[in-house]
Amino acid sequence: MTDRYAVIGHPIGHSKSPLIHAMFARASGQDMAYTAIEAPLDGFADTVHAFRASGGRGVNVTLPFKLQACEMATEPTARARLAGAANCLKFEEGGRTLADNFDGVGLVNDIQRNLACPIAGKRVLLLGAGGATRGALQPIAAERPALLAVANRTPEKAHQLRHDFAAHAPLQTGGYETLLGQSFDVVINATSTGLSQDRLPLPEGLFAPGALAYEMVYGKGLTPFLKQAQAAGVARVADGVGMLVEQAAEAFLWWRGMRPDTGPALTTLTVPLV
């Protein structure tokens, strides 16, 4: 019998997850179906329960439901608890609901495997202190960067992350003005400016020679952040399509017990950054 999975979000029509998982399933010979489900803003839990009751084996979770996904799980992983959010649920016997967060792992895998940029010993900066950054901090810290910093328009939110992650990584935190005079090897935009088209108040000299500028948003071409990076002389720029594909591969591995080849999906979904 075909195993059923889905991605749940609001809105969900833009999601590439069904395409990605269909490619993974075909290439690996897995008998599974994967669909997109748009849940009402006040009906996430009911949507999950209905899908499970109909025979669903697991779901990916996207905005704006990742916090709720973590809260409703009976067994969230330590990584999901630390992030305060989950992007993947797995349904087990006895009513058990397992939750994990693969966003940060997908980001790290994309940077290191696909973009050939080792994190160990590098100075890494995350812009923004929201959920995307929370999900990325622990996986990045596990790769032992020389420095891991978070800058945010509201410094207090960044400082809260330093407190929350104190047992996992020493963080440098502050507002954007504290970045003056510093340079970083990897700069990751985890803010929503890739969608809003707003510019970030980045100081000159932020990007070290040979730096990678990484935009978590995907499919938007050259966002204001990437344009700022290019104007500063950065040659290595990337958007989040690889992060999307790699987190999907982690979910597939968790659900099906085998890691898919991400290369074909990356080739299909990657568009030139122009």
Residue with token string 């990337």:
238
CA 126/CA 152 separation, integer angstroms: 9
DSSP three-state, residue 167 = coil
What the chain holds in terms of domains, given with CATH numbers, is: 3-101+245-269 (3.40.50.10860), 104-239 (3.40.50.720)
- The answer to whether the Cα torsion of 264, 215, 78, 143 is positive or negative is positive
If one counts every other C-beta atom within 10 angstroms of the C-beta of residue 86, the result is 30
Continuous H helices in the chain: 17-28, 44-53, 66-72, 78-83, 103-109, 131-141, 155-164, 193-196, 224-231, 241-256, 263-269
CA 57/CA 6 separation, integer angstroms: 9
DSSP three-state, residue 2 = coil
Predicted TM-score of the model (pTM): 0.95
- Residues serving a catalytic function are 66
DSSP string covering 42-76: T-HHHHHHHHHHTTEEEEEE-TT-HHHHHHH-SEE
pLDDT per residue of the chain (274 residues) written in tens, 0 to 9? 899 999 999 999 999 999 999 999 999 999 999 999 999 999 999 999 999 999 999 999 998 999 999 999 999 999 999 999 999 999 999 999 999 999 999 999 999 999 999 999 999 999 999 999 999 999 999 999 999 999 999 999 999 999 999 998 899 999 999 999 999 999 999 999 888 888 999 999 999 999 999 999 998 999 999 999 999 999 999 999 999 999 999 999 999 999 999 999 999 999 899 8
